[in-house]
Amino acid sequence: MEEVMQLGKGISFSHMFEALRYDGPGDKIKLPPSSFKELSDEGALDKGPMYFRLSKVSDRVPGAPQDNDADEATCCGVLEFTAREGSAELTPHVWNNLFRGDSPDVPLIEVRYVSLPKGTYAKLKPEGVGFSDLPNHRAVLETALRNHATLSENDFVVVNYGQLQYKLKVLELKPASSVSVLETDVEVDIEGPDSVLDNVENQHVLVPLETGKVESGVVEEGKFRYYKFLLDEGMGEKIASGRANIEVKIETDTSGGDTDIYVSRHPLVFPTQHRHEWSSHEMGSKVLILKPRDASLVSGTYSIGVYGFKGTTKYQLSVAVKDVLNSQRIGEQASASSSVDVDSVVCKNCKRYISSRTSLLHEAYCVRHNVVCMHDGCGVVLRKEEATDHVHCNKCGQAFQQREMEKHMKVFHEPLHCPCGVVLEKEDMVQHQSSTCPLRLIVCRFCGDTVQAGGEPLDARDRLRNMCEHESICGSRTAPCDSCGRSVMLKDMDIHVIAVHQKS
């Protein structure tokens, strides 16, 4: 690695330290205060950002010639000089790239000052599949690299997206095998993974699903299988106008397993039990009709999560856009033909309208065979042999068959723990994680990055503008107005333009 570095610039700094870990993003390490004094005396502070080459120490003398095994070394920046004397504190990124196998009992490293050229090109390759499914994944990578001062070939860069984590290997860098990524524009290529569908059931991968076609699969209990489908503008307009519906259908075998379906529209890529827009929890085969909440947001990419609720289940999944005009006409005809005859009476048992000529005969039969559910607000007429299987949830009052009650209680009323610390039931958790959870992912209106929203902003004006904590802070950055050149906060730019520059 050294032959492609511009070592020195007249500065000689090479020391052996005990490596310690600390939790922090990126690749900036902590060095002891004595290192700051030595680097200052050498004049390193006057030469801009400081970079260091870290290498593992085995049975060699620090400063002596060493082999150039890329797995034995990496580069980094420095965050501060607050480590205890004789030690250097490494972030998880630096530690994992330096100690890729088992860490020694007393990890010793050599820290050497180096000068790195500014990077112009980088090629990275995801380890596994799924990274390219993220919306605007290049922007997600760019956000992760903002915490880095350097990149080195054969290092792994970890990109976090919510609770998901992706590892990308650095395959190639220009103009050197280790470069600086501070204050420079780097052209980034992302190479596809070696295998698209290897071990797909254990990864967050979106399998393409064409509308009208059936996809077969198997899902294990407690795991997800994910699919995606695309609705073009033409289909979106048809659905938005009410002339068609999106129908998601899953047919399962009768081996005793059971599944749930969760559906979301991007940018929510991987729907879960807590974060989704539509769901179905019926037992066995099921059909889910998607009714978009916003008519202007119909076309685009959708994700389907098939969740193994019980056992290992084989299934067949399909998505179709079905015309609803014919069914509406049938419903209109049915409602028109269901007018009540003037010579009708109400059955005392089932409360239905019956012809007065046959009312006595009907009531005698009805009382002998039928029973009405007396639960408040129900009133369903049941066969007497079916009545024992008809039960109501004592929490929400919904009616189910006896065999469905256990699943209903587990899905809807079992307490769920949000990573932010809140404990809620399912319906409240879905609302919490979509609108108020500080850990939910949003696309910032100012920086355009996918970030955690944070809590409510301190500024009441920002709360009135429906900003989250991140947007309130990010929007406080200033930028010159295009019209007058004044420095204005990003979140006040639209008000500034209207108040100062809009013509009457």
Q: pLDDT by residue (tens digit) across 61-77?
A: 545 554 444 457 899 99
> How crowded is residue 325: how many other Cβ atoms within 10 Å of its Cβ?
10
Residue ranges in 269-395 assigned as alpha helix (H): 325-337, 359-369, 384-387
pLDDT interval class at 2 (50, 70, 90): very low
Three-class HEC string of 4-26: HCECCCCCCCEEEEEEEECCCCC
- 205, 270 contact by CB (below 8 A): no
Tens-digit pLDDT profile for residues 464-488: 999 999 999 999 999 999 889 899 9
- 265, 291 contact by CB (below 8 A): no
The pLDDT value recorded for residue 337 is 45
Half-sphere CA count of 239, side-chain side, radius 13 A? 24
Average pLDDT over residues 28-49: 91
Tens-digit pLDDT profile for residues 401-445: 888 888 888 888 989 899 899 999 988 988 898 889 998 888 888
Collapse the DSSP code of 307 into the 3-class scheme (helix H, G, I; strand E, B; otherwise coil) and give the result.
Answer: strand
Q: Any long-range contacts for 488-493 (C-beta under 8 Å, 24+ apart)?
A: 490/446, 491/446, 491/462, 491/465, 491/467
Out of 3.10.330.10, 3.40.50.1370, 3.40.50.300, 2.40.50.140, the CATH code matching 1-195 is 3.10.330.10
Q: Distance between CA 335 and CA 457 in Å, rounded?
A: 52
Q: Distance between CA 206 and CA 268 in Å, rounded?
A: 12
Closest CA to 207 of 118, 278, 302: 302
pLDDT surpassing 90 at residue 243: no
Q: What is the mean pLDDT of the chain?
A: 84
Identify the CATH class of 200-326.
Answer: mainly beta
The pLDDT value recorded for residue 7 is 60
pLDDT interval class at 12 (50, 70, 90): confident
- 413, 394 contact by CB (below 8 A): no
More confident residue, 267 or 215: 215
The pLDDT value recorded for residue 294 is 76
Tens-digit pLDDT profile for residues 110-153: 999 999 999 999 999 998 778 888 877 888 888 888 889 999 99
The pLDDT value recorded for residue 235 is 87
State which fold the 441-501 domain adopts.
Herpes Virus-1 (3.30.40)
Which residues of the chain are in CATH 3.30.40 domains? 441-501
- 223, 308 contact by CB (below 8 A): yes
- 404, 310 contact by CB (below 8 A): no
Which residues of the chain are in CATH 3.10.330.10 domains? 1-195
Tens-digit pLDDT profile for residues 322-369: 887 654 444 444 444 445 566 788 888 888 888 888 888 988 898 899
Which residues of the chain are in CATH 2.60.120.380 domains? 200-326
More confident residue, 388 or 318: 318
Q: What is the pTM of this model?
A: 0.67
Most confident of 136-145, 198-207, 244-253, 326-335: 244-253
pLDDT interval class at 162 (50, 70, 90): confident
pLDDT surpassing 80 at residue 26: yes
Please state the length of the chain. Answer: 504
More confident residue, 379 or 83: 83
pLDDT interval class at 8 (50, 70, 90): low
Tens-digit pLDDT profile for residues 100-120: 877 777 889 999 999 999 999
The pLDDT value recorded for residue 325 is 61
